[in-house]
A and B are shown apart, each in its own frame.
Chain A
Amino acid sequence: MEYILIAIVLAIVMLIMAVMAIHNKKLEVAIIAAGVVSLFASVLYLLLAAPDVAMTEAAIGSGLSTVIFFYVLNKIRKNNA
């Protein structure tokens, strides 16, 4: 039962973060928010008994993707500057 509560909290945070990722004016915040969505998703995977997936999502989705986004953001900023 406590799992369910955790899951609900996770779900709500993920959704809020997702909306934020898309609608926040600041790109840095958006990128971080997207990373948080991924991170919380990996916790959710753990709850769903999928540790392999959770590891992958954490490493790739919230780790590497975010890094790449920041690089791209940097690049675009420079191009526009």
Chain B
Amino acid sequence: MLKNSFILAILIAFSLIFVSLFISYEGNDELSNLGKYYAENGVQEVGAQNLVTSIVVTYRGIDTLGEVVILFLTAAIIGFFLKLSKKDSKNGKRVEKLREASEILKTGSQALVPLIFMFGMYIFINGHLTPGGGFQGGAVIATGFVLMMIANPVQKVKHGVLAFVESISGFSFVVIGILGIVLAGGFLDNHILKLGTFGEILSAGAIPIIYSFIGLKVGAELSGIVGSFNEIQAEK
């Protein structure tokens, strides 16, 4: 208990930093310089309705690349871990027989999962127009995947397929980025395709393509991660 009070004291002292930060915060009545620039020029330059998307995919595309890389790393590390524990399980550890899911769940999921996948794809393809994009779509796909696993716990996750999707979309992402250097102004420039008509699906240059790849990749990665966790927990 003494230790906890000590920690509490430290934390209170630490909160002083936050208090000062909070006091200095006054809320905004107008946009910051950067925000203003994007608001005024985003449409002309990038051509996406959703400004957040144009920032995420184009202006700060390299951040997104890093983010995808982090998911990739996580998936790779967890996948590796899975491999290790599988090796262990070969040495005398058994995979516990899981309880079968109820029939309703099974049937329901069979109908639902493709729908969820479709919804996810819709989200990332329309990322430049409506809220949402690659990440959200990817996450939705992964949710569908989770549902699939719950419905059918015994079924093996096809890591090979996931990895393939993940790699190919990641690779394409990079290739498009390089095309940006070759054909347009810089790495991940979306001007390799025409900006098109504002507000349409096939507008905003390469954004829909890039976001699709991101969506696929994120979906595959998140599914892989969750799947791996599932397998890890299934082992004993």
Instruction: Count how many chain B residues have C-beta atoms less than 8 Å from C-beta atoms of the other chain.
Output: 23
With A and B bound together, what is the CA distance between A59 and B138 in angstroms? 9
Report B97-118 CB contacts with A as 1/0, cut-off 8 Å: 0000000000000000000000
**A71 close to B143 (CB less than 8 A):** no
Binds B, one of A5-13, A14-22, A32-40, A62-70: A62-70
Pairwise interchain contact B131-A55, C-beta atoms closer than 8 A? yes
* Tally of contacts, chain A with chain B, CB under 8 A: 55
Q: Which one of B96, B136, B142, B229 lies within 8 Å of A71 (CB-CB)?
A: B229
- From known contacts A64-B143, A64-B146, A68-B226, infer whether A55 and B232 are also in contact, taking CB-CB under 8 Å: no
CB distance from A20 to the nearest CB of B (A): 18
Max chain A CB contacts within 10 Å: which of B131, B142, B226? B131
> A59 to chain B: which residues have CB within 8 Å?
136, 139-140, 142-143
A52 touches B131 (CB 8 A): yes
The DSSP consensus for interface residues of chain A is helix
CA distance A78 to B234 in the complex (A): 9
Bound complex: CA of A80 vs CA of B52, how far in Å? 45
In the complex, whether B64 has a CB less than 8 A from a CB of chain A is: no
Within 8 A of A (CB), among B177-236: 222, 225-226, 229-230, 232-233, 236
A71-B233, A78-B236 are known contacts. Are A55 and B136 too (CB-CB below 8 A)? yes
Q: A52-B50, A52-B52, A75-B229 are in contact. List 16 more A-B contacts (CB 8 A).
A: A51-B131, A52-B131, A52-B132, A55-B123, A55-B131, A55-B132, A56-B139, A59-B139, A60-B222, A63-B143, A64-B142, A64-B146, A64-B222, A64-B225, A71-B230, A74-B233
Q: Which residues of A contact B (CB under 8 A)?
A: 51-52, 54-56, 59-60, 63-64, 67-68, 71-72, 74-75, 78
